[in-house]
Amino acid sequence: MSSSTSNTPTTDMDTTTSAQPSKSRINLLGMSQDKLGEFFKELGEKPFRVQQVMKWIHHEGVQNFDEMTNLSKVLRAKLNECAEVREPEVTLEKISKDGTRKWLVKVENGSCVETVFIPQGKRGTLCISSQVGCALDCSFCSTGKQGFSANLSTAEIVGQVRMAIRSLKETEPERQRAVSNVVFMGMGEPLLNFDNVVDAVSLIMDDLGYGISKRRVTVSTAGVVPALYKLAEVSDVSLAVSLHAPTDELRNELVPINRKYPIEQLMEACQHYLAGLGEHRAITIEYTLMDGINDKPEHACQLAELLKDLECKINLIPFNPFPGSGYKTVTDENLETFQRILYKKGCRIMVRTTRGEDIDAACGQLVGKFNDRTGRSARHQRRLEANKINVLPLKHEAPNSPVHSSERPS
């Protein structure tokens, strides 16, 4: 359930954890086995170097080639001249009262995106971004109101995973495997950055990469139907679909891409994707509940009817408010009624507990720092000003908030 923001202070830490990019060097962090194999072939090296270097980069977290001691001195010298291992730079880290962590990550073009870690016992879920901003404009999503700037490279996507694992080892060494799940549910529509996301998924699941099971790596989409069919050809990663409405009329308002790819087409694409996953796999349907908008009993009945033939689990998400959204979070009573109706109709249901709300890390609240190429951010700001809605500074800037700041050595 969504809870009100507490006055409990959060923790801010300014960080500078990565070197400046070199224009002449190739970043090996985003290279798959095949691409790294081609790279070493061009250097005149044997194929076994791929396994050695990938283990150093992804398993050991080593950045300096001179520390890769099972490589020859000649190869290390070559790599120092033409290659590097470079994560995106962490400029700020915030820690919620519930243990959720949010990093503001600076990417190569100078923009910033957000990455969130949600702890669950000794393990946890890492929510990563795939774009700087989002090319879509879902009406209830704060990220979408910021507009769009660029796609992230494979290295910038995978770098978020590497950074989080390394950071958690340093700050919470008691965790055996802190990042047990990775979800592409941060900033951006993953399937609109198709090639880089697919390469990143491959590296995250690769045993020489991060070895996370395909059942624990999830790509979320708002419904880019052609890309869903394409994804089915190259991957069996877990899939989440941001549905949020059971009818085209309502979904057209909430998720504008529905006007191009309506629900019937989306459901057909989901069935096609599901057919390639094998037994005991299901698609996650994400449904954000907003008071008086999509939380009525008739909506629950329509949703159950729509999904009756799809092997899926429904993730009910209480809306997380942000200035100017025009929506309110679902009431406890309506959430319980909605959930009860779905349960009686045989649906598998989860209710997402709001985490990290006090540091704006909850679902739909992620906001980066970048130049919007679409003009959407400026239009949203003008609308807020016209309606005399005061917008507080972003919490990762928070110049006057009661937080503790400290420098963290690089």
- Above 90 in pLDDT, residue 338? yes
Q: Is residue 14 part of a domain?
A: no
| Residue 406 lies inside a defined structural domain of this protein | no
- CATH number of the domain at 208, please: 3.20.20.70
- Give Cβ neighbours of residue 25 (< 8 Å, ≥ 6 apart): 82, 83, 84
- Taking residues 276-280, report their average pLDDT: 87
Do 244 and 316 lie in one domain? The reply is yes
User: Among the listed ranges 8-12, 44-48, 159-163, 236-240, which one has the minimum average pLDDT value?
Assistant: 8-12
Catalytic (active site) residue 127: no
Query: pLDDT tens-digit profile of 314-327?
Result: 999 999 887 777 88
Q: Are residues 46 and 152 in the same domain?
A: no
The pLDDT, as a whole number, for residue 385 is 52
| Domain annotation covers residue 401 | no
CB-CB contact of 83 with 35 (8 Å): no
| Residue 260 in domain | yes
DSSP assignment letter at 231: H
| Cβ–Cβ < 8 Å for 260, 250 | no
Is 141 catalytic? The answer is: no
Q: Could you say which of 69, 84, 99 is where a domain stops? A: 84
Residues 166-195 have a mean pLDDT of 91
**Is residue 166 one of the residues assigned to a domain?**
yes
pLDDT at 243: 98
Per the DSSP assignment, residues forming a β-bridge with 283 are 312
**Is residue 381 domain-shared with residue 271, that is, in the same domain?**
yes
| Bridge partner list, 349 | 314
> In the block, which residue shows the tokens 């969130």?
116
Q: Which residue has 């994560």 as its token pair?
A: 87
- Judge if 242 and 287 occupy the same domain: yes
* Residues 272 and 162 both lie in one domain: yes
Pull the structure tokens for residue 108: 């190569």
Q: How confident is the model at residue 360 (pLDDT cuts 50, 70, 90)?
A: low
Residues 6+ away with beta carbon under 8 Å from 129: 105, 113, 114, 115, 152, 157, 160, 186, 187, 188, 366, 368
pLDDT, tens only, 194-206 = 999 999 999 999 9
Show the tokens assigned to 209.
């990469």
In the predicted structure, residue 387 carries a pLDDT above the cut 60: no
35 and 176 co-located in one domain: no
Residue 251 included in any domain: yes
Q: Indicate the pLDDT class of residue 230, thresholds 50, 70 and 90.
A: very high
Residue 15 above 70 pLDDT? no
Range of the domain at 299: 111-386
From 134, 312, 347, 363, the catalytic residue: 363
| Token pair for 215 | 């059942």
What proportion of the chain, given as a percentage, has pLDDT over 90? 67
Residue 346 lies in a domain: yes
Instruction: Report how many domains make up the chain.
Output: 2
Residue 11 has pLDDT above 50, yes or no: no
Taken as a whole, the chain contains a residue count of 410
CATH of the domain at 70: 1.10.150.530
pTM for this model (two decimals): 0.82
Better-predicted residue by pLDDT, 215 or 142: 215
Catalytic-role residue among 87, 89, 114, 189: 114
Regarding whether 271 and 130 lie in a shared domain, the answer is yes
Considering the domain architecture, whether residues 291 and 168 belong to the same structural domain is answered as: yes
CA 363 to CA 315: how far, in whole Å?
12
pLDDT of 377 over the 90 cut: no
- Rounded CA gap, 1 and 319, in Å? 10
pLDDT band at 138 (very low <50, low <70, confident <90, very high): confident
Residues 291, 203 within the same domain: yes
Instruction: Confirm whether 235 is domain-assigned.
Output: yes
For residue 402, is pLDDT > 80? Answer: no
- 125 and 205 in a common domain: yes
Residues 203 and 296 in one domain: yes
pLDDT (mean) for 95-102: 90
Q: Do residues 180 and 39 share a domain?
A: no
* Amino acid 355: pLDDT: 64
Average pLDDT, the chain: 84
